[in-house]
């Protein structure tokens, strides 16, 4: 498989500029006081489609030749990549099909349909997702845009860290959530070129800790159907993302379900912005490990804000 380089990130940034937001970087004296660090929050929750994945999806869609685009695009996704690909396909005027677990949040399924894509449901496991997806591609001939194990997607995600460094200046560390590793891989690709001294930490739920166990074991360990409130982080690493994670990541930090909920609540309360649980794992792990970041300039990627407002995790059931 082709491994993208930093030139791919630069080209992606130019390609997708008309289709994405240059999201703001916010600061918080409250979180700085809690952690002893100077935190810079890259707010991809304010991105098109409400999530950073609009970057990689747009790069993939607008990289297609006219002949390829005519066949449309397809993917499998727990939600955010699917709605991002639907958004990008809509911008180009081509069809999109998204295989989604039947347990995926309704808000995300509705968003995918809202962008004009077709939702095909599967069981909530990696094996079911991939089997149903194979049927969709075989019948349509659509271009497969993998949620994260795709050079075009990783290059697109790398534009987020590029903007962050441009906006915030030099960083001692960066913290980003990890599921399949697309955002972390893109961050590794960019920072190893523009800020090689920046340490990169991946944040992961304890109940979906396959990336952590892979990192410690030195090879990919994949869970089929982990259960966590951070629904965007349930998928395993693949060969391309493993290349970046194993080469550039300093460590993978874990947090509990309650720590994710507490961090999410604090972000909503103190920063007045909507983030989803998968975004909150970054703040949860920083709050849990302040000694790693005290006295440092730290980039924090808030990856998305697609939540069901009627089913927030701190609401009584």
How many domains are contained in the chain? 2
* Whether residue 184 is found in the same domain as residue 234: yes
245 and 160 belong to one structural domain: yes
Is 278 within 8 Å of 179 (Cβ atoms)?
Answer: yes
* 24 has a pLDDT exceeding 70: yes
pLDDT at 104 over 90: no
On whether both 22 and 169 belong to a single domain, the answer is: yes
CATH code where residue 296 lies: 3.40.50.1100
Do 197 and 260 sit in the same domain of this protein? yes
Judgement on whether residues 75 and 167 belong to the same structural domain of the protein: no
For residue 225, what are the domain limits?
6-51+150-302
Is position 258 within any domain?
Answer: yes
Residues 159 and 187 reside in one and the same domain: yes
Task: Decide if pLDDT at 125 tops 90.
Answer: no
Report the percentage of the chain scoring pLDDT > 90.
86
| Residue 310 domain-assigned (yes or no) | no
Boundary residue ending a domain (144, 165, 181): 144
Condensed to tens digits (0 to 9), the pLDDT of residues 173-192 reads: 999 999 999 999 999 999 99
Query: Does one domain contain both 36 and 80?
Result: no
Residue 18 has pLDDT above 80, yes or no: yes
pLDDT at residue 77, as a whole number: 84
Query: Which of 144, 166, 189 is at the close of a domain?
Result: 144
Q: Where is the domain boundary, 127, 144, 161?
A: 144
Same domain, 68 and 156: no
Residues 66 and 25 in one domain: no
- What is residue 316's predicted lDDT score, i.e. its pLDDT? 65
**For the CA atoms of 306, 8, 299, 46, what is the dihedral angle to 10 degrees?**
-30
What is d(CA 47, CA 269) in angstroms, rounded to the nearest whole number?
Answer: 20
- 211-243 pLDDT per residue, tens: 999 999 999 999 877 899 998 898 899 999 999
Question: Do 183 and 210 belong together in one domain?
Answer: yes
Do 64 and 132 fall within a single domain? yes
Residue 267 located in a structural domain: yes
């Amino acid at each position: 498989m082709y491994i993208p380089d930093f030139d791919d990130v630069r080209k992606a940034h130019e390609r997708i500029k008309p289709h994405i937001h240059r999201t703001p970087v916010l600061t918080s004296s409250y979180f700085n006081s809690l952690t002893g660090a100077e935190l810079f929050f890259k707010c991809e929750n304010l991105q098109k489609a409400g999530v950073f994945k609009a970057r990689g999806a747009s790069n993939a869609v607008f990289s297609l030749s006219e002949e390829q685009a005519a066949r449309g695009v397809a993917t499998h996704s727990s939600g955010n990549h699917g709605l991002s690909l639907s958004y990008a396909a809509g911008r180009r005027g081509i069809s999109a099909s998204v295989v989604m677990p039947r347990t995926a949040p309704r808000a995300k399924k509705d968003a995918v349909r809202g962008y004009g894509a077709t939702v095909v449901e599967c069981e909530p496991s990696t094996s079911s997702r991939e089997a149903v997806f194979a049927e969709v591609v075989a019948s349509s001939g659509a271009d497969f845009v993998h949620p994260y194990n795709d050079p075009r997607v990783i290059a697109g995600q790398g534009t987020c860290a590029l903007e962050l460094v441009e906006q915030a200046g030099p960083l001692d560390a960066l913290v980003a959530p990890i599921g399949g590793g697309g955002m972390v891989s893109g961050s590794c690709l960019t920072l190893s070129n523009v800020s090689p001294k920046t340490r990169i930490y991946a944040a992961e739920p304890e109940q979906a800790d396959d990336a952590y166990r892979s990192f410690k074991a030195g090879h990919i360990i994949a869970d089929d159907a982990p259960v966590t409130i951070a629904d965007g982080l349930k998928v395993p690493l693949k060969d391309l993302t493993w290349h970046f994670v194993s080469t550039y990541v300093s460590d993978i930090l874990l947090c509990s379900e309650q720590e994710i909920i507490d961090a999410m609540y604090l972000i909503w309360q103190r920063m007045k912005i909507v983030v989803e649980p998968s975004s909150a794992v970054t703040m949860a792990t920083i709050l849990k490990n302040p000694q790693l970041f005290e006295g440092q300039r730290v980039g924090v990627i808030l990856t998305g804000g697609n939540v069901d407002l009627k089913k927030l995790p701190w609401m009584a059931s």
